[in-house]
Chains A and B, each alone.
Chain A
Amino acid sequence: MDAISDPAFQSTKSLKTAAEELPSLLTVIVDTTPKLWAELDKESGQNKNLIHTLQSLIVFLNAHLTFNSANQVCVIAAHSKGIKYLYPTTTVSSKENGSIKQNGDLKIISNNMYRQFRNVDETVLEELYKLMLEEKNAEIVDRPQKSTLSGAMSAGFTYINRTIKEQENTSLKARLVVLTCGSSSEKDEIFQYIPIMNCIFTATKIKCPIDVVKIGGSQESTFLQQATDATNGVYLHVPTTEGLIQYLSTAMFIDPSLRPIIVKPNQGSVDFRTSCYLTGKVVAVGFVCSVCLCVLSVVPPGNKCPACDSEFDEHVTARLKRKPVVPNSVAKKKRKPES
């Protein structure tokens, strides 16, 4: 029996599993609200920022598909009126049945390209074209509009969940990449705090890292930074769209199976502090209402929570308001030896 336990007999299985290539699912969320891109164009003085971004995105999708022949891709656009799946698409089109690709496609991409790439790219570009036409004809609304990015991220997670459930045999790893552009005002983001936090917790639960590329703009998007930090992802703030493909093919290309061994770009400090509900200041030490969990920097007047109107216990608030007091006797005693 000892011959069996001879290490020569134990096959080197550990090395084999290291060489096993696991397919991965890449979900890309692109923020295509025309207003944001127009502002970016104005600020940076360049036109066609969106076009450049999309070109780099297409090459990035192709690169992901090359990595492993079983890799899959999903692209969702968050536009001003809602969200739209750019790939895979299930539009019930009015074209003739059968061989849709041959007859109906706009032939945006050369026919000689590798078929696997071509199918994906063609679909993405066609759907985007249709989307832009719709945007052009859409009405302009005066009401304040919020960003639909959180909705697109939520839909992306449900798609990941569905794909993993459907293909239980092949262990598929998922990751999410968010492409957004800058100069989004901070006020917008308040609306999305809770949905984005829910997305972050979902991502940690299903072990899907979130990577973010932010183009232009001067401020960092704190919520997206927190998202990448909590999910072991990469956050990149890029000034212009030039050379975007380099960023995408290096820092954003880290496959989930390679994440344990590749060193990620350092984020620097991430600001986790929230702002006070009443005053809006950033809070380092504050008071939290135990009912509605809103953060306040001062004890509110009237002992009532401003968000949920629940009354606080008098004694407790009095104790919190107390300041530390130094008794006089100690001070006097100290003076005597000195004099």
Chain B
Amino acid sequence: MPRIADSDSDDDTLKKPAQRAKGKAGKVKKHVRIEDDYNEDGNSLSEGDENIFSEDEERADSRPASSRKKKKVANTNLLGANGGYAWEEDIQRSWDLVKVDDEGSMAALVSSIIEARKKRASNKNMTPFQRGIIRTLILVLDCSDSMTEKDLRPNRYAMTIQYALNFVHEFFDQNPISQIGIVCMRNDLAHLISQVSGNPQDHIDALKNMRKQEPQGNSSLQNALEMARGLLLHVPAHCTREVLIVFGALSSTDPGDIHQTIGSLVQERIRVRVIGLSAQVAVCKELCKQTNYGDNSFYGVILNEVHFRDLFADAVTPLPVNKINKGFTLVKMGFPTRVYEDMPSFCTCHSKLMYGGYFCPNCKSKVCSLPTVCPCCDLMLILSTHLARSYHHLMPLKTFQEVGVAETFPSETCFSCQKRFPRLKNHKSHELLTSSRYRCADCHRDFCIDCDVFIHEILHNCPGCESSPDV
């Protein structure tokens, strides 16, 4: 929910004043214009600054001057329906979207909504990048007074912790050889919640303990970033260094110059991603832009709970490797063998008695679980399955194309699950709304929407391509 901004922040829902002056001439036209001017990088800022005075004069009579209006790149998604601020438009009731067609049946509409939602879920960027697979991520959570707001249920703090728990699960699921550390910002200080390690259980226990503390005080970005820098200091060159900040406040109380900190972060090639909970804060935007080589897409402000979850999920996929930040190296790793024992013996990492474990090939000491760093000889120990888990990031499955509506189709049932394709007809015109078929570009087999989502999110194998015997 956008708020009245204070001096530090800029409101992203501002649109260019030029359009406003044209009056409310049809929504479509305005949107098109905005898309033309929308740029990926922040270059439009400079032109905007020049125009500001002329536009201010233009608008002086049309709007009460409540804030400076820089010509910002307007995000089409955030723009209100009639071209104004998001809070100015009429309340959108969810039941208005649903219209009952002539025969009183909503079946076709419901199913097309379901399909559209699923399609959106499966539409991700699928070009194969080179990505940094071995990652070290510091998760910084805001525990200041602003987190007691109840705009997220039950309050921001509880929801953040819940989503952080899910994030830790997902992160270790997708990146088994990576590590996480957790820091919180509280009472103008930064506290270390959980050490940098590759064991998800420690982090989960630490996060659950955090639930018992109440958020308090102000948040300090600089302290948190300095602490993160310290934690990432000893990370070897082949790992990517990342920081994910969940920031709910609108300001930051810092002991020194935060721009110096940002400079040192850039020098050490640490990449920062920020999820804002209330409104856009200029210093966060600056931080993300500089540490990510001018890419603006790493700072996101949430619109609602679902968006919050999506932003968290974006942080799970590995970052593409940048030309500047090469860091290709060979990493020395060990592949231990599993051993079964009749008598229990101690493991070297926790000194616990257990039956069986894994022997480090270098120093032959026993460790209990993988992946881990051998405590004796500092060699990273993994199983080949952990490497295999990340393969699908490097060689992603191509998205399936939707087959256009036609009179007849070559297939009646989905190739992989044998479900019959539904015939969703528009009741008035008796035309097919959608063919419900999704075709793989390589093997030309059709799949249903459920299989499509399942294949792209969980399986990462196309059954059609796999079942053809040709090499």
Chain A interfacial positions (CB closer than 8 Å to B) = 78, 80-83, 85, 88-90, 92, 143-148, 150-152, 154-155, 157-159, 161-162, 165, 191, 193-195, 197-202, 205-206, 226, 230, 268-274, 283-293, 295-296, 299, 305, 308, 310-313, 316-317, 320
Contacts and interface: CB of A to CB of B under 8 A. Distances in A.
B328 A286 contact: no
B391 interface: yes
8 contacts: A144-B471, A146-B469, A151-B463, A162-B450, A197-B389, A270-B338, A274-B335, A285-B332
A222 B49 CA distance: 64
| Of listed A82, A191, A199, residue having the most chain B CB within 10 A | A82
A155 B330 contact: no
Interface of B: 130, 132-134, 173, 237-238, 321, 326-340, 361-362, 379, 383-385, 387-392, 394-395, 412-420, 450-451, 454-455, 458-471
Contact of B418 (A85, A199, A310): A85
B316 to A, nearest CB: 14
Contacts of A305: 328, 330
B200 to A, nearest CB: 15
A162 B467 contact: no
A235 B134 CA distance: 32
A68 to B, nearest CB: 23
A316 B239 CA distance: 13
A306 to B, nearest CB: 11
Contacts, number: 199
Q: 5 closest pairs, A vs B, by CB?
A: A151-B467, A151-B466, A197-B388, A284-B361, A158-B416
Contacts of B384: 272-274, 295
B237 A316 contact: yes
Nearest to B335: A273
Given A162-B450, A269-B338, 18 more contacts: A88-B418, A144-B471, A158-B417, A158-B450, A199-B461, A200-B385, A202-B458, A205-B458, A272-B384, A285-B333, A285-B379, A286-B335, A287-B332, A290-B238, A290-B331, A293-B387, A313-B329, A316-B330
Given A150-B466, A274-B384, A143 B331 contact: no
Given A144-B471, A165-B450, A205-B458, A193 B388 contact: yes
A291 B362 contact: no
Contacts of A270: 338
Q: Secondary structure of the A side of the interface?
A: mixed
A273 B337 CA distance: 7
B333 A286 contact: yes
Given A158-B463, A289-B328, A312-B329, A82 B417 contact: no
Contact of A148 (B134, B321, B361, B466): B466
Given A158-B417, A273-B384, A148 B451 contact: no
**Which of B328, B362, B462 has the most chain A CB within a 10 Å cutoff?**
B328
A193 B448 CA distance: 26
Of B134, B458, B467, most A-chain CB atoms within 10 Å? B467
A272 B383 contact: yes
A274 B279 CA distance: 49
Contacts of A289: 328, 330-331
A215 B48 CA distance: 73
Contact of A80 (B335, B336, B469): B469
A77 B192 CA distance: 55
B217 to A, nearest CB: 40
Given A199-B459, A285-B332, A286-B335, A295 B387 contact: yes
Contacts of B459: 154, 157-158, 198-199, 202
B471 A284 contact: no
A290 B469 CA distance: 31
A226 B338 CA distance: 12
B335 A284 contact: yes
A226 to B, nearest CB: 7
Given A162-B419, A272-B384, A288 B330 contact: yes
Contact of B337 (A226, A268, A269): A269
The residue among B389, B395, B463 with the most chain A CB atoms within 10 A of its own CB is: B463
Nearest to A91: B413
B454 A312 contact: no
B379 A154 contact: no
A171 to B, nearest CB: 19
A272 B338 contact: yes
Contacts of B362: 285
